[in-house]
Amino acid sequence: MENQNSYIAPVLEVRNVSKDFSGIYALKNIDLEIFPGEVTAIIGENGAGKSTLMKIISGVYTEYEGDVLLNGEKVNFKNPKEASEHGVIIIHQELNLIPYLSITENLFLGNELLNRMGLLDSPKMAKKAKELLSRLHLDINPDTTLNQLRVGQQQLVEIAKALLLESRVLIMDEPTSAISDQEVRILFQIINDLKAKGVAIVYISHKLNEVFEIAGRFTVLRDGAKIGAGNVRETSHDQLIQMMVGRNLADSFRKVHNLHQKEVLRIENLCFRNPGNKNDYLVNDVSFSLKQGEVLGICGLMGAGRTEILEAIFGLYPAYVSGKIFIDGVEKQIRKVTDAIEAGIALVPEDRKLQGLILNMDVTRNTSLASLDKISKFNFILKKKEEELSLRFIRKLNTQVSSPKMEVQKLSGGNQQKVVIAKWLATNPKILLLDEPTRGIDVGAKAEIYKVIIELAENGMGIIVVSSELPEILAVSDNILVLSESKLTAKLSRTEATEEIIMKAALCAKE
Amino acid sequence: MEAQQLKQKLVKFQSVIALLIMCIALSFLSDRFLTADNSWNVMRQISVNMIISVGMTLVILTGGIDLSVGSILALSGAITAFLLKSGGEFISWNLYIGFTLLGALVGGTLTGTFLGWFNGLTITRFKVPPFVATLAMLTIARGLTMLLTGGFPITGFSGQMAFIGTGWFLEIPMPVWISAVVVLAAVILTNKTQLGRHIYAIGGNETAAELSGLKIKKIKLIVYSIAGALAAIGGIIVTSRLDSAQPNAGMGFELDSIAAVVIGGTSLSGGKGTILGTVQGTLIIGILNNGLVLLNVSPFWQQVIKGLVILLAVVIEKFNSKKN
């Protein structure tokens, strides 16, 4: 932005790029220009398409519509390695490091330096690694294995790995998600160095403060489309937030109605210590209550502690959780899953394939898994009762199956989710915890799941929905809790909540 | 459509078909194969592997493995023999104090159950991977067997003891009866009971099973204990048949057993497989062994061929599951 020249050619151009995953567009007609010596911020909510776009640029996804141009020439990288050979390097959000190798070995992984004999040139690599670490102000022995480092330090090593390569375009995907303020300072210093050297930097973040500090230009993505772009100096926090979220509100499914006064769940001073770090809390002193028939939405950014609240209530980490849980006004000790089920709590977890389903089992057996006691006699499962149970929920939730004997791995995402919900409804819960109930399922199935949620609430179940999609939270919730950095930052009723207010509360770290 | 259905049936019954082809081929190649004598002989020989493999199937269904069955078999057999032999005669009182046959059998079986339970304990409580935990037990139990026997066989039991391994009941050898009962019980366990369902669920997706409130540790403890108990029963049969407890008994049995389970179509990653598949796997290995002996194939080639059959079975299985 300091450049006074009339025109600088962009080093990287994205022209009219679209990408679909089995019919659903993740990106639609995106244009983007990246200039040398400048930081371009890509901003957007979870699922807006930021990471998809970066994966296209860096050669992770090779099939897409539209063109990517490097220095004015069309390129189509076959893999990230080829992209990095052309100077397009990505620092991934998730760490791609080998825990049992040393820092040096990780830094040179795949690009090892060899001596004349064709063997590893360890002294040279050690020397270079040392230089690099001191540039990053990382005062660690390069022979340390990765698993001995804190996550923040690991992230810096990941960044160092990228610095080792000659980059023309450096993409940083949420580089500060796990590092301390001090380390952010170091990172920004390095970014400024790189800028001075003429490297083009793409900076992905939803921390707007950082964007205003480091970036020259910005591009906002929403639902896979480009919403706006411009100079950071000419915009404001509020404008960016509006661009990030300002869509037509999804049809509101829920009419405002009077809630029952009877409380089914009360949480007092819930804390969840980070198992990896004693001084850190994943959930920090959260209290709230849930009434019969209420749908309570919990939102916040990635890592704000949404999922952890549900896990804490469900008794998954008793050793790290403190606080009081009252069910129907009576304090309960929930220290394992069976305690939770007995107390009438059900958890539909975030990842249905990893946590929810036995993929190679059929619909019936998945449905009955958590409530076998109810349909068994002397440990023998009563086949007839089991089939009835499964059929009842297939009808109730309108699950599309050719037969209850169908393996769940052959179902669509929406129907799989319905099977997980069925499994938990079969336990006859008073309180239903739903973690990202519609992640990765199509629009039609989403609407059906919303309908189910509302119907259950109207029949008196207390429901907590955790979601990273604000329209979803607004569509189904009576009340909304907003978390930021493991603390509760706002309690809103559905009449006062808007996406803007929620986003502000989610972005504010400290009140 | 019909062709496809036929194909699916063929895939489903591939082990049975392989078994039939083997039997037909062998009956042409050797006139001794199809005699009643030889048939009962084969059945009796494979019954021990059958019993062990039922336990192995349960363990593998949970996503685990049990390498210690051969050693547990030896130690349990030796304990049974030791108990039968240990008694004191008090001539002045005209009294003999010792274990009855039943007492010795219970003692042997409990030994195996305990060792299996111990496997389960190290796996669930101390998070030792099943491969390592049972590998350690393989050595420990073998060592204990050597200590108990001093490296020499324990021999000479009553006729009643010999009946278990060599006797006939209703024209059918006793070991075949025992293995049939074990198979039947396991079929019921896996198909009809909560425990059976839980075993499949744990192997299919342990995280989901745990989040559904299943008691993973308890179930695994039970499964490894069953595997130990069944190895002990195998040990009793072997001891009875040879009329001696050999310190080297059961050497390498874990491999035959795993082979039978795998040939029977059970997935080593857990959650998928059946007891009846394992029965077929055991039959295939047993008949193959018998056929190769009848055809005078050199023992060296026998091993090569057995290995190739295992590979072939798994490759076919993978090929079929990919297509579906």
Instruction: Report the pLDDT value the prediction gives residue B188, as an integer from 0 to 100.
Output: 93
Q: What ipTM does the predicted assembly reach?
A: 0.80
Among the listed residues A245, A224, A173, A202, the one whose alpha carbon sits nearest the alpha carbon of residue A49: A224
Instruction: Report the pLDDT value the prediction gives residue A257, as an integer from 0 to 100.
Output: 61
Pick A360's closest partner by Cβ from B195, B197, B204: B204
Is the model's pLDDT at B322 over the cut of 70?
A: no
In this prediction, residues A297-304 reach a mean pLDDT of: 83
User: How far is Cα A308 from Cα A276, in angstroms, rounded to an integer?
Assistant: 14
Dihedral angle, C-alpha A265, A270, A276, A280, nearest 10 °: 150
User: pLDDT (tens digit, 9 = 90+) per residue, A271-291?
Assistant: 998 887 778 888 888 999 999
Determine contact, residues A182/A212, Cβ cutoff 8 Å.
no
User: pLDDT (tens digit, 9 = 90+) per residue, A427-455?
Assistant: 999 999 999 888 777 666 777 888 889 88
Closest residue in A to B271 (Cα) is A360
Contact partners, residue A231, CB within 8 Å, separation at least 6: A1, A216, A217, A218
| DSSP labels, B249-260 | TTTTHHHHHHHH
- Grouping H, G, I as helix, E, B as strand and the rest as coil, residue B295 is coil
Residue, of A51 and A287, whose pLDDT is higher: A287
Q: In A, residues 401-430, which contact B (CB 8 Å cutoff)? A: 423
- Grouping H, G, I as helix, E, B as strand and the rest as coil, residue A60 is coil
Determine contact, residues B287/B22, Cβ cutoff 8 Å.
yes
Is the model's pLDDT at A248 over the cut of 50?
A: no
Please check whether residue A370 touches B, CB under 8 A: yes
With a pLDDT cut of 70, the percent of chain A lying above it is 92
Is the model's pLDDT at A158 over the cut of 90?
A: no
User: How far is Cα A346 from Cα A370, in angstroms, rounded to an integer?
Assistant: 10
Closest residue in A to B188 (Cα) is A380
Ordered structural domains, chain B, with CATH: 48-306 (1.10.3470)
A370–B193 CB contact, under 8 Å? no
Contact partners, residue B111, CB within 8 Å, separation at least 6: B72, B75, B76, B79, B232
In this prediction, residues B297-318 reach a mean pLDDT of: 85
Instruction: Report the pLDDT value the prediction gives residue A329, as an integer from 0 to 100.
Output: 87
Instruction: Report the pLDDT value the prediction gives residue B2, as an integer from 0 to 100.
Output: 65
Please check whether residue A140 touches B, CB under 8 A: no
Please check whether residue A330 touches B, CB under 8 A: no
User: How far is Cα A367 from Cα A452, in angstroms, rounded to an integer?
Assistant: 16
Q: Return the exposure string of A404-420: e unless at least 16 CB atoms fall within 10 Å of the residue's CB, then b.
A: bebbbeebeebbbbbbb
Look up residue B126 and give its DSSP letter.
S
Ordered structural domains, chain A, with CATH: 12-245 (3.40.50.300), 293-304+334-507 (3.40.50.300)
State chain A's mean pLDDT as an integer: 84
Look up residue A282 and give its DSSP letter.
E
Instruction: Report the pLDDT value the prediction gives residue A6, as an integer from 0 to 100.
Output: 47
Is the model's pLDDT at A511 over the cut of 50?
A: no
Is the model's pLDDT at A72 over the cut of 60?
A: yes
Determine contact, residues A78/A62, Cβ cutoff 8 Å.
yes
Q: Considering only CB atoms, which chain A residues are within 8 Å of B271?
A: 358, 360-361
Angle between helices B14-29 and B275-294 (to 10 degrees): 20
Closest residue in A to B193 (Cα) is A380
Candidate ranges A93-107, A385-399, B83-97, B108-122; pick with highest mean pLDDT: B108-122
Instruction: Report the pLDDT value the prediction gives residue A509, as an integer from 0 to 100.
Output: 53
Query: Nearest-CA distance from B28 to chain A in Å?
Result: 41
Determine contact, residues A204/A45, Cβ cutoff 8 Å.
no
- According to DSSP, the residues that pair with A300 across neighbouring strands are A483
Instruction: Report the pLDDT value the prediction gives residue A2, as an integer from 0 to 100.
Output: 44
Residue, of A6 and B161, whose pLDDT is higher: B161
User: How far is Cα A66 from Cα B141, in angstroms, rounded to an integer?
Assistant: 66
Look up residue A354 and give its DSSP letter.
I
User: pLDDT (tens digit, 9 = 90+) per residue, A7-34?
Assistant: 678 889 899 998 877 666 778 889 999 9
Model confidence band, residue B180 (pLDDT cutoffs 50, 70, 90): very high
In this prediction, residues B180-194 reach a mean pLDDT of: 93
Dihedral angle, C-alpha A360, A362, A368, A369, nearest 10 °: -10
Instruction: Report the pLDDT value the prediction gives residue A259, as an integer from 0 to 100.
Output: 66
Residues of B with CB under 8 A from a CB of A: 192-195, 197-198, 200-201, 204-205, 207-215, 271-272
- Grouping H, G, I as helix, E, B as strand and the rest as coil, residue A231 is strand
3-class SS letters over A131-181: HHHHHCCCCCCCCCEHHHCCHHHHHHHHHHHHHHCCCCEEEEECCCCCCCH
Instruction: Report the pLDDT value the prediction gives residue A442, as an integer from 0 to 100.
Output: 67
Instruction: Burial-class residue B217 by CB neighbours within 10 Å (0-12, 13-18, 19+).
Output: middle
User: How far is Cα B269 from Cα A359, in angstroms, rounded to an integer?
Assistant: 13
In this prediction, residues B59-87 reach a mean pLDDT of: 92
Query: Nearest-CA distance from A358 to chain B in Å?
Result: 5
A354–B212 CB contact, under 8 Å? no
Q: Considering only CB atoms, which chain A residues are within 8 Å of B205?
A: 354, 357-359
Determine contact, residues A193/A5, Cβ cutoff 8 Å.
no
Is the model's pLDDT at B323 over the cut of 80?
A: no
In this prediction, residues A235-258 reach a mean pLDDT of: 64
Closest residue in B to A335 (Cα) is B213
In this prediction, residues B99-118 reach a mean pLDDT of: 89
With a pLDDT cut of 90, the percent of chain A lying above it is 20
Determine contact, residues A348/A435, Cβ cutoff 8 Å.
yes
User: pLDDT (tens digit, 9 = 90+) per residue, A316-371?
Assistant: 998 898 899 999 989 899 999 999 999 999 999 988 888 999 998 999 999 999 99
User: How far is Cα A234 from Cα B39, in angstroms, rounded to an integer?
Assistant: 90
